[in-house]
Amino acid sequence: MSARIIKIIIIFLFVVAAIAAFLFLKNRKASPPSITIPTARTTYKSLAPGVSTRDEVVAALGTPLNATSSPVLDFKSSNPNLPHTVSIEKNTAVFIKEQITLEDEITKEGLIQLWGEPKETLFGPYSVNGFNLYVYPDKGVAFLGHVTGSGVLEIWYFPPTTIDDFIQTWGAAYSKVHKPRQ
């Protein structure tokens, strides 16, 4: 074989390989981004939302202030006006709202030190008073804290999720966009 034929064969093979590679990459479907929901979960008095049963809730928090058959159980808190609440679905605690007062000695800085910087800040009904909802969807916890001060009004516990699912379920009154009221 002459050198010219060998060059033509090599160029032909190179062109065929380039076309095959192009077609392979073109036909590959872009996989949608996967949403991983970590299994790390935050608990309240050993109660894990999505795991703990109604009986475990009553055992840990005592007798509810309302009927134990209710889908939302109220429990005594340090706030004389607002109880802790636990939402029950299919005999499982799915959401816990802990009321915080000054005597609890819980601060925004302490919670950030414990859980890290919040993944999301949401704005809602208390934002007009300087309290935003700081959310850690992957840890299953959020807290209603003051924008500039140390104050914390509530801590919310829920099964780990995505921010969008959180907003659709527990955070329906909140938004990623601040909409000041006048």
Which of 3-7, 8-12, 58-62 is modeled with the greatest confidence? 58-62
pLDDT of residue 29: 52
pLDDT of 9 higher than 70: yes
pLDDT of residue 32: 45
What is the C-alpha separation between 93 and 114, in angstroms, rounded?
23
pLDDT of residue 111: 96
Mean pLDDT of the chain: 86
pLDDT of residue 5: 77
**DSSP string spanning 86-128?**
EEEETTEEEEEEEE--GGGT--HHHHHHHH-S-SEEEB-TTGG
Report residue 40's pLDDT band, with 50, 70 and 90 as the boundaries: low
pLDDT of 47 higher than 80: yes
Report residue 34's pLDDT band, with 50, 70 and 90 as the boundaries: very low
pLDDT of residue 38: 43
What is the C-alpha separation between 55 and 88, in angstroms, rounded?
11
pLDDT of residue 35: 41
pLDDT of residue 27: 64
pTM assigned to the model: 0.76
Tell me the domain boundaries of the chain.
Answer: 54-169
Chain position carrying tokens 């208390």: 126
- pLDDT tens figures, 69-119: 889 999 999 999 999 999 999 999 999 999 999 999 999 999 999 999 999
